[in-house]
Chains A and B, each alone.
Chain A
């Protein structure tokens, strides 16, 4: 039941206890399952009416419902998910114990040493083992991933790790920081930190491999008469020429203005797609178009669709 009990009983929020009792009796008589044998709808309705009455006929429950402390079913309203629910799930690893004694509770081998004592096999006691790899996720901004940047990651032990995100990093790329994982045992080498890079979307740039796409709004005047316009690029704004007679959908390429060159990969291009914006009503333009019906280039732009 997820419906307002007042609605179910057909009474107002300020109805008296007497009104509620009367409304309940009337509906209960009508929908009572014994009076409507085999009528599933009536049975459901009767249940809903009974539940609504149970809630509203109890002054205390009714007051709690009105205050929003309990829901229609009388259940306590769910508080926001508690920290415990996260901490006990895999997400809790983000806040693994930050104390000095590495691996308390976290290091399973340590906590249940008896379980692992014999596992290495005879003669292996005291042998060395490489530390475990630690996995982290780091969300980088679109431009940091395109241009490269150093982002800070706070490790479970409270230390910070400066992660160098190379230019042209792709979503889902995993960076390996050697030796920044768990400590080795018995003189073994430390594990690595593996950092899963996620890239947040950008407001207007879209990435396609090395190229970047951008939709650039231009005014009617700029599109018809041509103009020099400033275009944002990942490397900073550049001035671009819009030719006279440009249109929505006209695509211009700014060579080398996409993802910058890195390693053996050449720089990508920035594809700018124009989008003509008519904007506020302009009386002069309206008059002109009214008196020059042939203006605007095409008579019927939908001709090809018939």
Chain B
């Protein structure tokens, strides 16, 4: 768990900026205002937002749309991974049957 002070240093963020991102629910740390605790994924997400804003020139108005689309993609990918794990333990004939159908359609 990482504190906000370390985030300010690592990313050169102003406290108001981070507060605004948290208020917008772009970043969802634990704890409460003044004593936020950040998981590794929260830090990675802050890096993502910093990169989106800097290198990719996504402005604050467009940010919610971009983050929402990314969240949908990752939700989809997690679902596909779950399916993949379920298939890994499915009977061989089920897997073969699916592979057959999928290659036919493709």
Interface residues of A (CB under 8 A from B): 80-88, 91-99, 104-106, 108, 111-112, 137-141, 151-154, 158, 200
A18 and B47 CA atoms in complex are apart in Å by 43
Contact across chains for A88 and B77 when beta carbons are under 8 A apart: yes
Within 8 A of A (CB), among B64-78: 68, 70-72, 74-78
Contact across chains for B83 and A94 when beta carbons are under 8 A apart: no
The proximity string for B residues 69-100 relative to A, scoring 1 for CB distances below 8 Å and 0 otherwise, is 01110111111011100000000000000000
Task: Give the interface SS of chain B, mostly helix, strand, loop or mixed.
Answer: helix
**B6 in the interface, Cβ–Cβ < 8 Å?**
no
Contact across chains for B41 and A86 when beta carbons are under 8 A apart: yes
Residue of B nearest to A153 (CB): B30
A40 and B53 CA atoms in complex are apart in Å by 53
A111 and B47 CA atoms in complex are apart in Å by 30
Give the interface centre of B70, B71, B75, B77 by most chain A CB atoms within 10 Å.
B75
Contact of A98 among B25, B33, B40, B42 (CB under 8 A): B25
Residue of B nearest to A141 (CB): B35
A97 and B70 CA atoms in complex are apart in Å by 8
Q: List 30 A-B contacts (CB under 8 A).
A: A80-B44, A81-B40, A83-B41, A85-B44, A87-B70, A87-B74, A87-B77, A88-B78, A92-B41, A93-B78, A94-B28, A94-B39, A95-B41, A97-B72, A99-B68, A99-B72, A104-B75, A105-B78, A108-B79, A111-B76, A112-B83, A138-B30, A139-B30, A140-B31, A141-B31, A151-B31, A152-B32, A154-B22, A154-B28, A200-B37
Nearest chain B CB to A61 CB, angstrom units = 26
Contact of B71 among A95, A141, A200 (CB under 8 A): A95
Interface residues of B (CB under 8 A from A): 1, 22, 25, 28-33, 35, 37, 39-42, 44-45, 47-48, 68, 70-72, 74-79, 81-83
What A residues does B32 contact at CB under 8 A?
Answer: 151-152
Contact across chains for B44 and A200 when beta carbons are under 8 A apart: no
Nearest chain A CB to B18 CB, angstrom units = 14
Residue of B nearest to A151 (CB): B32
A138 and B77 CA atoms in complex are apart in Å by 25
Task: Beyond the given A83-B47, A94-B28, please list 20 additional residue pairs across the A-B interface where CB-CB is below 8 A.
Answer: A81-B40, A81-B44, A83-B44, A86-B41, A87-B77, A92-B78, A95-B45, A97-B72, A98-B25, A99-B72, A105-B76, A105-B78, A106-B78, A106-B79, A111-B79, A140-B31, A152-B31, A152-B33, A153-B30, A154-B25
